[in-house]
Amino acid sequence: MNKLSLVKYKHGNENGLMHYVIFESEVVVLSEYKSKKVTHIEENGTVNVTFDIKSDNLEVLNASVVTDKAYVERVYNYMLEINNAYFTDGFETLCVIKIFKK
Name the pLDDT band for 84 (thresholds 50, 70, 90): confident
Residue 74 in this model has a pLDDT that exceeds 80: yes
Coil, strand or helix at 33 = coil
SS3 40: helix
- Read off the pTM: 0.91
- Residue 86's pLDDT is 87
Q: Which residues 6+ apart lie within 8 Å of 91 measured at CB?
A: 30, 69, 72, 73, 76
CA distance 18 to 40: 15
Q: Would the pLDDT of 2 be above 50? A: no
**β-sheet bridge partners, residue 52:** none
Q: Report the chain's mean pLDDT, rounded to a whole number.
A: 92
